[in-house]
Amino acid sequence: MEKSGSHDWMNKAEYVKEVFNHIAEHYDLMNTIMTFGMDKKWRSLAVRQVRARPGAKILDVCCGTGQLSFELAKAVGLQGKIIGLDFSEKMLAIAGQRLNEQNIKQKQDYGEIITLIQGDAMNLPFKSDTFDGVTIGWGLRNLSDLSESIEEMTRVVKPGGIIVSLDMAKPHFNIYKQLFWFYIERIVPLMGRILVKNERAYNYLFQSAKEFPSQQEIAAIFADCGLKDTRYRNLSGGVVALVSGMK
């Protein structure tokens, strides 16, 4: 499913969209279970890395069910703005439900801070130099062309703004590495089959993680796309990593 021609490119996008539309309802639960609840902490580190300050305007690409968008909203506050963009209508529908639930629970109108938009990460519907920062959580791995998508995020961020990707990575230590791949290849699809009756989506998770370049390579691609101060930070022993760069 590499981008060898426009036909394959379409196939990957369509396939990914179908996968996420299919698992949307169970996405958050599966995420919490398979990361042992660590995903929340990882997202909070992404919020810090993108320097989401009060009043900032941040784009959250591939926002899915909106978990990262909500963490960003807490950081930017009522003077700020978060745009959550995703192409899966079912994932966005869950994000919309979360918006309503949080409004009631936190007694705050998150609708004033967060706007959810259906759109394509490969063709962002925004003018150049619009955002103070851009995040993409577990999204890059799903896109049809890494460099093109990073260039597109670079286009919409303001000079001095930071782009942060939080995604699966490649741990270095031998036994830990083997355990990790065994878990992702065997256990997670089994959990998918038992818990959400969808093994295929979680086989895709393994495939996409395997094909995804290492965190060092992603940082190098960020630099090739013209970003400065590119770096990566391994989280939980490198099972996931934050990669960032500044325009």
Q: Which two tokens stand for residue 198?
A: 């969808």
Binding mask 38-77 for ligand SAM (x = CB under 6 A): ------------------------xxx--xx---------
Q: Which two tokens stand for residue 113?
A: 């801070």
Q: Does 167 bind ligand SAM (CB under 6 A)?
A: no
- Cα-based torsion angle of the residue sequence 197, 203, 206, 209 in order, rounded to the nearest 10 degrees: -100
- The correct pick among 58, 113, 121, 169 for binding ligand SAM (CB under 6 A) is 121
Q: Does 143 bind ligand SAM (CB under 6 A)?
A: yes
Task: Tell me, by CB under 6 A, how many residues bind ligand SAM.
Answer: 21
Q: Does 95 bind ligand SAM (CB under 6 A)?
A: no
Task: List, in sequence order, every residue forming a beta bridge with 59; answer none if it has no partner.
Answer: 83, 134
Q: Does 156 bind ligand SAM (CB under 6 A)?
A: no
Q: Does 122 bind ligand SAM (CB under 6 A)?
A: yes
Q: Which stretch binds ligand SAM (CB under 6 A): 16-24, 48-56, 173-181, 230-238?
A: 16-24
User: What would you report as the CA-atom Rg of the chain, rounded to the nearest whole angstrom?
Assistant: 17
Amino acid identity for residue 222 in this structure: F
Q: Does 86 bind ligand SAM (CB under 6 A)?
A: yes
Distance, in Å, from the CA atom of 80 to the CA atom of 56, rounded to the nearest integer, reads: 5
Other Cβ atoms within 10 Å of 28 Cβ, number: 16
Residues 81, 115 contacting (CB under 8 angstroms)? yes
Point out which residues bind ligand SAM (CB under 6 A): 13, 16-17, 20, 62-64, 67-68, 86-88, 91, 120-122, 137-139, 142-143
